[in-house]
Amino acid sequence: MSKKTAPSPWDQYATYLQLDKLLDAQAPWSNRAGQPAHDEMLFIVFHQTYELWFKQILFEMDDIQARFSGRVLNDRDMQPILARLDRITAVLRLLVRQLDVLETMTAQEFIDFREYLRSASGFQSWQFRLIETRLGLQRKDRLPVFHEAFDAHLRPESKKAIMDAENKPSLYMQIDDWLARTPFLERGDYKFWDDYRAAVHAVLDEKEKLAGQTLSGEALEKERAGLERGRRKFNGIFDPAQHKSAQEDGVWRMSWRALQSALFITVYRQEPVLQLPSRLLSLIMDIDELLAIWRYRHALMVQRMMGFSMGTGGSSGYGYLMETLEKHRIFSDLFALSSYLIPERARPPLPESLSAEMGYHYAGSKS
């Protein structure tokens, strides 16, 4: 009876990574047409790599959303959540940088094989659409593609994956619920919204007074109008009725309580118990920002390769991509809160008892 030969180290590596499948998955269509275009290989490898990274992002989101799914977030889940979010941001930064590699291909070299792509288009990346959906981009807020729903031309199984995600809480919804449960906003006689609203209005009054001393005419009118818009939007954070009206007008998307909590965490982020929540909000904004940067770089690359002509698959190409840059933002409310940060000198101090409660209790213990 013959003994089986132990696989060589190379065989183990190749088998573990399924390299036979992976390295045999590049089949340029220009070759099949008998007109080989050298740069089509780069185009295929680039997009296959993207899809692998999209798979990794979704894998990280599985864990993040599972940890957020409970009625209360376990404190010990915060560190893994931050680690997963940090990894997602690292992947997105890499995806932006990978465009540098694709841009080594000239417009002429792309034209040499573009006709062989037929209707194949990055718009059909169901994994990217699923990432957007699970982050919190709603169907009603999406721009139509090919004058139809964004998923109209996806495979049935891909459409189902997106529909399933739409029927579950998105990461946006989970974070909104988590923020809404934030304690510390109200303790005895202390109400964060009363103290901070008074402080912000005092700063805005100071700005208006300074504008009256330094500006005049149309410039003064514009400054005052801008300050007034800021006041109204700011009041929407603290007044339930005004917030509801602002939500209906599309000014705010986050819930009333979540907005207050996000602002509270941002303002008092140096408090020990708020440092990790502050880091989480920062990473969420990093993700939103990196997606916007990627959209912008992608749009410029498309314009560089195709000018203002129609994109592959009949899309509007550059024009559509530039529109998504702003309209497909998800966590823009968190960015808007920076409008209402005030100098530290004007920031209301927390009551000593509340500040002590937000500290690490062992810090003041005697050895």
How many whole angstroms separate alpha carbon 256 and alpha carbon 205? Answer: 24
Amino acid at 141: D
Q: Could you tell me which residues are beta bridge partners of residue 190? A: 187
H helix or E strand, kind and range, residue 196: helix 192-214
Q: Which residues contact 37 (CB under 8 A, 6 or more apart)?
A: 28, 30, 109, 112, 113, 116
CA-CA-CA-CA dihedral for 98, 104, 107, 113, to nearest 10: -80
Residue 147: both structure tokens together: 């004058």
Q: Does residue 210 belong to any structural domain of this protein?
A: no
CA distance 330 to 172: 8
Question: What residues make up the domain containing 332?
Answer: 12-185+271-359
pLDDT score, position 246: 87
Helices 318-327 and 275-306: angle between axes, nearest 10 degrees: 170
Domain contains 4: no
pLDDT in tens, the chain (367 residues): 556 666 676 688 999 999 999 999 999 999 999 999 999 999 999 999 999 999 999 999 999 999 999 989 999 999 999 999 999 999 999 999 999 999 999 999 999 999 998 877 787 899 999 999 999 999 999 988 767 888 888 899 999 999 999 999 999 999 999 999 999 999 888 999 999 999 999 999 999 999 999 999 999 999 999 999 888 888 888 888 988 988 998 889 999 999 999 999 999 999 999 999 999 999 999 999 999 999 999 999 988 888 766 555 555 678 888 898 889 999 999 999 998 999 999 999 999 999 999 988 765 555 4
Cβ-proximal residues to 330 (8 Å cutoff; 6+ apart), any chain: 132, 135, 136, 137, 172, 288, 291
Name 326's Cβ contacts closer than 8 Å, sequence gap at least 6. none
Distance CA 181, CA 204 (A): 29
pLDDT of residue 310: 58
Environment class of 233 (CB within 10 Å of its CB; exposed 0-12, middle 13-18, buried 19+): middle
The answer to whether position 144 is within a domain reads yes
Provide the pLDDT for residue 188.
86
What DSSP state is assigned to residue 72?
S
Three-state DSSP at 76 gives helix
Q: Which of 51, 3, 10, 44 is nearest to 27 (CA)?
A: 44
Q: How far apart are CA 276 and CA 82, in angstroms?
A: 8
Total-model pTM: 0.90
The H or E element that residue 191 is part of is strand 190-191
The rounded distance, in Å, linking the Cα atoms of 53 and 243 is 38
Structural domain total, the chain: 1
| Spatial CB neighbours of 113, under 8 Å, sequence gap ≥ 6 | 28, 29, 30, 37, 39, 40, 43
Q: Is residue 246 part of a domain?
A: no
Cα gap 288→310, rounded to integer Å:
27
How many degrees, rounded to 5, is the angle at CA 148 between CA 146 and CA 154? 85
User: Which CATH number characterizes residue 151's domain?
Assistant: 1.20.58.480
CB burial readout 32-56, b (16+ within 10 A) else e: eeeeebebbbbbbeeeeebeebbee
Please tell me the predicted confidence (pLDDT) of residue 143: 87
In a domain, 114, yes or no: yes
Is 301 inside any structural domain?
yes
Domain presence at residue 99? yes
Sequential DSSP letters for 43-58 = HHHHHHHHHHHHHHHH
* Length of the chain as a residue count: 367
Would 351 be classed as within a structural domain? Answer: yes
